[in-house]
Amino acid sequence: MALIEVENLKIYFMTRRGPAKAVDDIGFCIEENKTLGLIGESGCGKTTTAMSLMKFIKPPGKIVGGSIRYMGNDIVPMTDEQIRRLRGKEISIVRQEAQNALNPVLTIGKQITEMILEHETVTRETALARAKNQLNLVGISDQRINSFPHEFSGGMKQRAMAAIATACNPKFLILDEPTTGLDVVVQRQILMMLRNLKNELNLTAVFISHDLSVVAETCDRVAVMYAGKIMEESDTVSLYQNPLHPYSKALIGAYPSLKGERKQLKSIPGAPPSLIDPPPGCRFTPRCELAESICSREEPGLDPIDGRRVACHMVK
Helical ranges in the chain per DSSP H: 46-52, 80-86, 98-101, 108-119, 124-137, 154-165, 184-201, 212-218, 236-241, 246-253
Helix (H, G, I), strand (E, B) or coil at 279: coil
Q: Is 256 in the site for another protein (CB under 8 A)?
A: no
Query: How distant is the alpha carbon of residue 13 from its chain centre?
Result: 19
Of 8, 73, 82, 85, which lies in the binding site for another protein, with binding defined by CB under 8 A?
Answer: 85
Number of residues that bind another protein (CB under 8 A): 32
Q: Is 119 in the site for another protein (CB under 8 A)?
A: yes
Query: Which amino acid makes up residue 183?
Result: D
- Least Cβ distance, residue 116 to another protein (angstroms): 11
Q: Is 201 in the site for another protein (CB under 8 A)?
A: no
DSSP 140-153: --GGGGG--GGGS-
First to last CA, the chain: 29
Q: Is 93 in the site for another protein (CB under 8 A)?
A: yes
Helix (H, G, I), strand (E, B) or coil at 312: coil
Strands 308-310 and 229-235: antiparallel
Of 67, 107, 189, 296, which lies in the binding site for another protein, with binding defined by CB under 8 A?
Answer: 107
Which parts of 5-64 interact with another protein (CB under 8 A)? 54, 56
Q: Is 158 in the site for another protein (CB under 8 A)?
A: no
Of 10, 21, 95, 283, which lies in the binding site for another protein, with binding defined by CB under 8 A?
Answer: 95
Q: Rounded CA gap, 160 and 238, in Å?
A: 34
Of 20, 30, 38, 115, which lies in the binding site for another protein, with binding defined by CB under 8 A?
Answer: 115
- Least Cβ distance, residue 165 to another protein (angstroms): 6
Q: How far is CA 303 from CA 25, 82, 275, in A?
A: 14, 35, 23
Of 17, 79, 105, 259, which lies in the binding site for another protein, with binding defined by CB under 8 A?
Answer: 105
Q: Is 165 in the site for another protein (CB under 8 A)?
A: yes
Nearest to 50 by CA among 61, 37, 34: 37
Of 2, 29, 101, 122, which lies in the binding site for another protein, with binding defined by CB under 8 A?
Answer: 101
The stretch among 38-46, 109-117, 213-221, 239-247 that binds another protein (CB under 8 A) is 109-117
Q: Which residues bind another protein (CB under 8 A)?
A: 54, 56, 84-89, 92-93, 95, 97, 100-107, 110, 114-115, 118-119, 146, 148, 150-151, 161, 164-165
